[in-house]
Amino acid sequence: MTDEHLAHSTVQLELEPDESAFIERQVSNGAYASAEDMLRAGLRLLAQNERRERIAELRSMIDEADRSVQAGDFKEFSNSGDLTAFIVAEAKARR
């Protein structure tokens, strides 16, 4: 998809009757100006949720790395050549 297409696109959805009724209620009670506004709000919430989940995942990875360091489970390298050699050896071992 091009940036232009992503900027403005039309989507058609087939909704279950209860989903359609929910949207109609939300629009009619003034929670949203239109079904489109409600959909955009829902998409924003999904994007925020994905970001929160990714941040939580990254924090968990950082915590795990911190625990490994505290337990002494790490390697030290005196120069970049040693690090490069270690990375190459690890890559070969995984093949």
Q: Between 2 and 42, where is the model more confident? A: 42
Examine residue 80 and state whether it is found in any structural domain, yes or no: yes
Q: Which domain holds residue 25?
A: 15-94
Quote the pLDDT of residue 72.
Answer: 96
Distances (CA, A) of 49 to 54, 55, 57: 9, 10, 12
> Which tens digits make up the pLDDT trace of 23-74?
999 999 999 999 999 999 999 999 999 999 999 999 999 999 999 999 999 9
22 vs 43: CA distance, rounded Å: 16
Examine residue 37 and state whether it is found in any structural domain, yes or no: yes
What's the structural domain count of the chain?
A: 1
Examine residue 8 and state whether it is found in any structural domain, yes or no: no
pTM, rounded to two decimals: 0.65
Quote the pLDDT of residue 7.
Answer: 74
